[in-house]
Each structure stands twice: as structure tokens, then as C-alpha cells.
A and B are shown apart, each in its own frame.
Chain A
Amino acid sequence: MRRFCFFICVFLVSSLTLNAETAQDVLKKIEARQNEAMDAEIQVRITTIEKNGTKKVREGVIYQKGEDKRVFKFTSPADIKGLSVLSTGKDTKYIYLPEFKKVRRIAGHIKNQSFGGTDFTNDEISSTRYSDDYEAVELREGPDTKVITLKKREGSDREYDKIVAEVTSDYVIKRAEMYKNNKVIKVLDVTNINKHGKYIIGEKMIMRDLTKNRSTEMEMIKIEFDKGLSDEIFSERFLKK
């Protein structure tokens, strides 16, 4: 009998261990959530708010397909209209400069630069995958949310050393704190998390740059999933059209 109880205990413990979610699992589920739609076309309004309260509004369209393919095209204001960024892989990015009618390859050095004067970096706008550059090292579970800590992998050129992200039970990022030299430098808050068909998405994001005391609000005006976007959208040909 004693022996039987021991086996039951071992079985229960090992089952629990097998089923326990690790930080790495959560990271994978976040990425899966972000890329679960076959494709997406999203119209966005981006408002930057300076520390003195001055607001600048930009609008654009994001096209996304799979994990790697993404296009961001500015539609307003007039001075940056047509400016587009194409990403077809981690290190394959192009920018279209309408004034010069030219597509230029983007080198790695501008990955961490501001995207079109916003508080998002070029890298944040063009990629949805974190696991290449970050390792999920810690998981804390709350009643409705999970908090994971991502640590930058050695050799990665990402700007932040550490990211602490709070995700909903549906694995949608609700808040993320970005650290550099053990200090929070940016905070991302995602609100209006709603279901669109079978997909869940945060419709509003606010990125606060604590070092500059300014923020950028990205609001999704129109969201369409699984439109059957052609691969041709993710090409230089499309940027020039």
C-alpha cells in the first residue's frame, strides 16, 4: 500500500511537471498569438505626444503575412506620405523614399532608430518575433495575467537588455517594460483588447519613452484578417506602386 501511494505521488508530480507552463512556452504562445492569422491589413493612426503636450498625427497601413513579412506604408501627413518599410526577414529590410523614387536596403544600424519620428523603433515596427533575440527566463502567474521576463541573448543587437511583459490569459501582451542597464526606459501599454472573428488583438498601444518623457499612441482604425494577401505585397514592386 505504501509502495502504491509512492507511485501515485510520483505519477502526479511528474504529470504536473509535464503540464506546467514554462516561461519559454508562454513566449512561444505570445508569438503564435501575434502571428496566428494568415495575414492582416491594418490601418493605423499614430499620435506622438511631446512632453509639452504637442501632438503629431501620422496614419499608415500595415500589411502582415506570417512571421516575417511586413510592410508599413505611411498615408499621411503629406511630407512623409508614401514612405514605406518592407521587412521580409530578420535582416532583410528595405525603405522606399518617394521623393527620390528609390528603394534602399536598410542596414542593421538603423534597426534601433526611431520609426518615422515615433517612439517605436524600426525593429519594433517590422518584426513580431522575440525568441531569436530573447530568452524567456522567468514566469510569474497572477489571477488573470502572466508575467514573463525576457533576457537578451548573447550576441543580439537588440536595444533592450531585458523585457518584462504582462500577458493576458489569451497570450496577448498587455504591458511591457523595456530595460536598459537595469533601468526601465520604455513602457508599452496595450488596451482595447478585443476579438475580431477568431483572433484577439489589442487595438490601442501606447509606447512611453521614459528617458525623453514623451509617448506614441498607435490606434488601429480598421483591421482585416485573412484577406488572402498576395506575396507580391511584400516586395519592392509594391513599395514603388
Chain B
Amino acid sequence: MRVKFLVCFSILVVPQILSSEEKLRFSGDIRSNLYVGLIYGDIYNYFNSNMVTLKGEAKPNDSISGGFEIRLRNENIADLDRLDELKYRRYVEPVSWQFYEAFMQFNAIFMKELDIKVGKQRISWGTADGFNPTDNFSPLDLEDPLDFKNKLSVWALSANFYYSRFDLQLVLQPLFEPALLPNINLFATESNVVVDQYKDRVLEPELILPEFRIKNSIYGARLKYKGEIFDVSASYFHGYLGIPVLREVKIETGGFALKSITPVLFYPTQDVLGLDMAVDIFDIGIFGEMAYIIPERVEPLYYVNGHKLDEQSKRAFGINKNILSVEDKHYLKFAVGLDYTFKGGYYINVQFVRGFFNEVSYSSLNNYLFAYLKKDFFDSTFNIQPSFGIEFDSDSDEKFGGEEIRGEKAIILSLEATYFPFSNGKITIGGAVARGDRGSNLEMFEKLDQMYLKFRMDF
């Protein structure tokens, strides 16, 4: 199938490229990354990924344009444990495709102020630097959990209306598209008193996606005002939580013995009212973004051999009170920061963040301070970027289930150096380490202490 696609692609598209390079343009990049775990045996010791990206832009005329981005990826050999697997290329040389974008844009359609973009696209909201609680259409791409700023694209219809200093964007995403979670269990989203208690009998969690029905569509609007010295936007989003939470616990018993436990996860809805701004004060860039989140309450249900457990029976399994997966208490996530370039070209970016991307309930919110410094050397052919993130004690310490953990702190440090040996090419070497108290959120990154080497060439 892939070979057929490539042959068709070559036959149909390449001559077009050659005949009308102004109307159809190609570009892309080649990347090769190597990650080495610093703690032997914890999560991974070695990970290698190779990727070729092909981007195309077509613009037959001023009224219509289109674009796509295809990624072909290869990751290092999966854990092989059967001789048979060595006979299949898909095990020995695993390859995957990603259709990152494929869209058309109709410019000045119906009226000159209106553009409509349809197809698979990245919808990017918010002004903060990577911590964007109002940016909820495009799901997270957590293949590399430390690079949590990465997002996937979604199929959507986006209408942009431009009038004077105002931009209005309306977005309709008919189909829910889930986030790509890390291939290691970082978040423990199925964690629960019963599941935790009988860990040895827990089966692979099941997942329920929202049904593909009109009423389950995701939609939102954003109005932006561009002033002389500041920009401000207000937005509304109706959709789903980015990562799944526990909805059911299915318990199977045989006689008096507990046979198995199957956690069932799903995506609850949420409504998000957003506000973001960017302003220049005394040449310092100041930006802020906040999201007022109205979540759907989720209380896990328990089934034993298909029968729902009543309150009395729950106690037999150690469930003494209702533990919620998501509280119905509204909460505020925000990021506020500044950036500035000091004399000598030292760029600094500092952000205070309340609510990390995996904190989806009032009680789970924590406070963070993230900062990085960037300095170019040798005529911008080399730069270094040290950074840190600190998690500190929050005022909403009550963990689900009433267990209070106070004083949790964590820190994550990273250092990265990039060398640009020539135009279109760069080599990056870096590393990251994290340490945290038990119960802190950034503690999860302890398992990912690593060094990495990345190569990239653009064409």
C-alpha cells in the first residue's frame, strides 16, 4: 500500500513540481536523535529515532492555497523476544507514518475579511511560551514527555474574520482526536484505591473514546484585539480533557477469589474560558494567559462480574468513600511571564505557571517557575541554553481521596548546546535531570534522566 502510494505520488506529483515550481513548493527536514538514559534499567537505556519530514505548499491562485506535512519515522528496534519476530521487517525496522497537516485555505471567501481553513491543521492559541492552558484543540504529543510543548494537529474547520484591529476565529472540530501519550506510564491516570491495592491482578486498561456524533463536536471561538502597545484575546472552548481519566473499574471474581481488575478510562468534557495578552513595557516582553476551567465531574463506577457495586459492597473492596477522578470544582490555570535580552545578547525567559499539562482537577494543581537563558556565540554559530523548572508547594494540596501531602517540591534542570556548522544544519547535545519529593508532579521526570544528541538538516 505504501509502495503504491509512493509510486502514485511520484508519477502524479513530481512532474507537477517540475512544471510549476512557483505554484507547488516542497521543503522538509531530516532528523536523527539519540537519547541515552542516565539511570540504567529505568524506563530506557537507549532510544533512537529517525525522521524525514516532507512539507508541501500549493497556491494555484490568491484565493486558495493548501499545505501538507508528512512525517516518516523509524524508531530503534522494539524489544524482540521471539525468533519468529526476526522474520518480519516491521519488528526489526519499525516504521510509522504521521500525517501532521493536510489543509486547504480559502482566502477572502464570501467576503474579503473572511478566510476559511479546512483539513488537518495545527490550531494554536495563547501567548505564553509553551504553557498554554487556552490551547486545547490540538492534543498533546508526548512521545518525548520532556518536550511537552509538542502538539498534534486535528481535522477542523476554522473561519478567521479580520476586521480592523480585531481578529475573530471560529473553530469546529467534528471528531475527537486523542493525545499521544508517552510509551511509559508517567501519569498513572488509571490510579485508584482498588487498582493500586490489587496491582498484580490489574489487566491492561480499556479506553472509551467519545462517540463520533455531531453532538460530541468540539468547538470554540477566540476574539483578538491588537492595540498599539498590547494585544489581548478572549476565548471559549468546549471539548474534552486532553488525557483520559478513570471512569469504571471492572472486577471479575471466581468464587471468593478476585480474578482480575480492568480499569476503564475515558475523556470527560470541559469548558474553558480563556484570556491572554502580550504587552511591551519598558522594552520587556510581558505575556500572560489564563484559563477558567469548568470540568465534568467524574466519579468512578465499580462493577463486579457485570453488576454495579452499591455503597455497602464497596467497603468490602476497601472503598470507604467516593474518590473522584475529576472534581466538579471550577479552577484556574494560568501562566504569566516575561522575556528580555540583556546587553551582550543574553536572552532570558521566565514564567510562573499554575497547573501543569497533566493536572486536570482543582486539587491536583501545583505552582511552577520555569526559566531559561539563551546566549549565542561565535557569530551565532553556537548557542547554549541552560534552563530549570521548580515545582513548589501549592495551596490546593489535598490529593484525591483526602490524603494530604504538604511541602512537595521538585526541580528539573537541563542544559543544551547547539552548533550550526552550516546553513540548514544543526547539531544539539543536551541533558536533563529531575528530582522531586514523593507526591510532587515533576517527580515523574526522574525516570527520564537523560542525555541526548540530535542532528537536523532542513531542505
Which residues of A line the B interface, CB within 8 A? 48, 50-51, 56-58, 77-79, 81, 89, 91-92, 100-102, 104-111, 113-114, 117, 157, 212, 214, 232, 235-237, 241
Q: Known: A56-B423, A105-B278, A114-B380. Contact between A236 and B283, CB under 8 A? A: no
Residue pair B423, A102 in contact (C-beta under 8 Å): no
Q: Report the bound CA distance from A111 to B341 in whole Å.
A: 10
Q: Within the complex, what minimum Cβ distance (angstroms) separates B159 from chain A?
A: 13
Residue pair B162, A235 in contact (C-beta under 8 Å): yes
Q: Which of A56, A81, A105, A241 contacts B280 (CB 8 A)?
A: A105
Residue pair B278, A77 in contact (C-beta under 8 Å): no
Q: Report the bound CA distance from A241 to B459 in whole Å.
A: 20
Residue pair B283, A107 in contact (C-beta under 8 Å): yes
Q: Known: A81-B27, A109-B340, A236-B167. Contact between A104 and B278, CB under 8 A? A: yes
Q: Report the bound CA distance from A179 to B160 in whole Å.
A: 46
Q: Known: A107-B280, A157-B283. Contact between A100 and B124, CB under 8 A? A: yes
Contacts of A89 in B (CB 8 A): 228
B76 at the interface (CB under 8 A from A): no
Q: Known: A78-B27, A235-B162. Contact between A105 and B124, CB under 8 A? A: no
CB-nearest residue of chain A to B226: A236
- Chain B interface extent, by class: 35 or more
- 15 sample A-B contacts, Cβ–Cβ < 8 Å, listed by A number: A58-B423, A77-B423, A77-B458, A78-B27, A79-B458, A81-B27, A105-B279, A106-B285, A107-B283, A107-B339, A108-B283, A109-B284, A114-B380, A235-B162, A237-B167
Q: Which of B29, B124, B279 contacts A101 (CB 8 A)?
A: B124
Q: Report the bound CA distance from A117 to B420 in whole Å.
A: 12
Contacts of A232 in B (CB 8 A): 162
Q: Within the complex, what minimum Cβ distance (angstroms) separates A103 from chain B?
A: 9
Q: Known: A91-B280, A237-B115. Contact between A78 and B458, CB under 8 A? A: yes
Contacts of A48 in B (CB 8 A): 379
CB proximity to A under 8 Å, residues B268-289 = 278-280, 282-286
Residue pair B458, A50 in contact (C-beta under 8 Å): no
Q: Report the bound CA distance from A91 to B230 in whole Å.
A: 10
Contacts of A104 in B (CB 8 A): 127, 278
Interface string of B408-428 (1 = CB under 8 A from A): 000000000000001111100
CB-nearest residue of chain B to A114: B380
CB-nearest residue of chain B to A81: B27
Contacts of B124 in A (CB 8 A): 100-102
Q: Report the bound CA distance from A109 to B285 in whole Å.
A: 8
Q: Known: A110-B341, A113-B341, A241-B65. Contact between A78 and B29, CB under 8 A? A: yes
